[in-house]
Amino acid sequence: MTSLFDPLKIGDIQLANRIVMAPLTRNRSPGAVPNTLNAAYYEQRASAGLLITEATAISHQGQGYADVPGLYKAEALDGWKQVTDGVHKAGGKIVVQMWHVGRISHDTLQPNGGKPVAPSAIRAKSKTYLINADGSGSFAETSEPRALEKAELPGIIEDYRRAARAAIDAGFDGVEIHAANGYLIDQFLRSGSNARTDEYGGSIENRARLLFEVVDTITKEIGAGRTAIRISPVTPANDAFDPDPQPLFTYVVEGLAKYDLAYIHIIEGATGGSRDHQQGDTPFDYAALRAAYKAAGGKAAWMVNNGYNRELAIDAVESGKADLVAFGKLFIANPDLVERLKDKTALNAPDQGTFYGGGAKGYTDYPSLDNVA
């Protein structure tokens, strides 16, 4: 029987186990540049089968939160090399989650104070994280976006290609395309944020067009075996909404099946909330989604995420429901989560007050089993 603790090869990446550290925004990279503190944080958690970095902007325009890292300037890539070197020396594997936030941003974070961009000029009922004049951090309403011109989309696709190449050059084992949680690609997918009347709006096929153009350009640049994608069929995060998500995401995974991706990362339910959350009139059928992917010839590893504990994770892998299980908050507080899960050891509790911004406190100072007094 396959175990959560067994090795697995996903695309071109060999993993020591099936436990994944989910992407977790921590707002500790001033100037969008990863630093030595970030390197220590990831290296501490390198016993995970796979580390997925915090969401990382592909361009300045793609930034939506203060002090999150990027992939678009030389200093940031040098910083990421420190991270990937440390993880690899510790025996781990790491991919970068590539991010364009779209409308989930603020004028002060955009190039020249411009408006955030989106499929349509629909403001999100959501917030972003800013640094105040006194150095403290706080949440603020997102700014009103402007609708992207069709002529701008090839440039954004090129930003994804360039960022993917930069990531591999910086030592990452692969990339995860962030197409979830109400950010740019997800905004195009959902009718609640996409009111376009051109070939990028209206039908499911049109709304999914940008996603497939991004996947196509990245897989051609770095190979499908080092490319993955994250989707969140029913999450309400960042004002994401579609009244009929089952056919939408069935179309998406059937289209992804033609690429030999490393993995598909599924957020079940509301991100960070109820696993039973639904949009539309009927509960979302995740088993049917995977069946549709397999029926279309898809062979990528299937990663599940949201509210998993030890028992649920073990059952998901042993039953064949999933190949990989991602953990978020548990990895924040437990750098040696793999060992703790394997040995059924007590877990540290995360300090929510230190999730966003700050320094080492609540970031690199959680005790592991070998340094508990």
Contact 304, 326 (CB under 8 A): yes
Q: Which residue has the tokens 């073990």?
A: 314
**Tokens standing for residue 227:** 């490319």
CA-CA distance, 161 to 50, in Å (whole number)? 22
Nearest to 32 by CA among 78, 85, 84, 94: 78
Q: Which one of the listed residues 41, 42, 160, 183 is annotated catalytic?
A: 183
Which strand (E) or helix (H) includes residue 154?
helix 153-169
216 CB burial (10 A radius; 0-12, 13-18, 19+): middle
Alpha-carbon span 85 to 79, nearest angstrom: 10
Q: Tokens at residue 127, please?
A: 């917030």
- 293 catalytic per annotation: no
Whole-angstrom Cα distance, residue 104 to residue 141? 9
Active site residues: 183
